[in-house]
A and B are shown apart, each in its own frame.
Chain A
Amino acid sequence: MKPAVRTGNHYITGDVACAEGAIAAGCRFFGAYPITPATEVAEHMAERLPDVGGTFIQMEDEIAAMASILGASWTGVKTMTATSGPGFSLMMENLGLGVCTETPCVIINVQRTGPSTGLPTQTGQGDMMQARWGSHGDYELIAIAPSSPQDCFYHTILAFNLSEKYRVPVLVMADEIVGHMSEKVVIPDAREITLVSRPKPKGRKDRFRLYEPGPNGVAPMPAIGDGYNVHVTGLTHDERGYPVMTVEAQEEMMTRLKGKIRNNLDDIIQTEEYRMEDADIVIVSYGISVRTGLTAVDEARRLGYKVGLFRLITVWPFPEQAIHAIAARVKGLITVEINLGQVHYEVERCAHGQAATYLVGDAGGKIIHPDKVVSLIQEVFQP
Chain B
Amino acid sequence: MSATTQPVIDHQGAHPLDDLIRTDRIPHIWCPGCGTGTAFSSCLKAIKATGIPYNQFAMVSGIGCSGRAAGYIKLDSFHTTHGRAIPFASGIKMARPDLNVIVFSGDGDLFAIGGNHFIHAARRNMDMTVICVNNLIYGMTGGQVAATTPSNAKTTTTPFGNPDAPFNLPLMAYAAGASYVARWTILHVRDLTNAINEALMKKGFSFIEVLAPCPVNYGRRNKQKSLDTLKLYREKTIIRNGADPARADIDFDRGVILGTFIDRDRRTCDELYDATCRRNED
Contacts and interface: CB of A to CB of B under 8 A. Distances in A.
Given A55-B273, A67-B91, A232 B79 contact: yes
Contacts of B24: 242
A64 interface: yes
A228 B22 CA distance: 12
Contacts of B94: 29, 55, 57, 68, 72
Residue among A67, A71, A243 facing the most chain B CB atoms (10 A cut-off) = A71
- For chain A, what secondary structure do more than half of its interface residues adopt (helix, strand, loop), or is it mixed? mixed
A211 B120 CA distance: 34
Contacts of B80: 67, 70-71, 94, 97, 234
A224 B92 contact: yes
A74 B87 contact: no
Interface residues of B, number: 38
Given A57-B94, A70-B91, A233 B99 contact: no
Interface residues of A, number: 42
A31 interface: yes
B87 A64 contact: yes
A70 B86 CA distance: 12
B87 A59 contact: yes
A229 interface: yes
B14 interface: no
A50 B86 CA distance: 23
Nearest to B72: A231
Contacts of A228: 76
B167 interface: no
Interface of A: 28-29, 31, 50-51, 55-57, 59-61, 63-65, 67-75, 77, 79, 93-94, 97, 224-235, 242-243
Given A64-B86, A67-B90, A229-B55, 17 more contacts: A29-B91, A50-B273, A55-B94, A55-B95, A55-B273, A57-B94, A57-B269, A59-B120, A60-B87, A71-B87, A75-B95, A94-B80, A97-B80, A231-B79, A233-B70, A233-B71, A242-B24
User: Which 7 pairs from chain A and chain B are nearest by CB?
Assistant: A71-B91, A68-B91, A64-B87, A72-B91, A72-B95, A67-B87, A233-B79
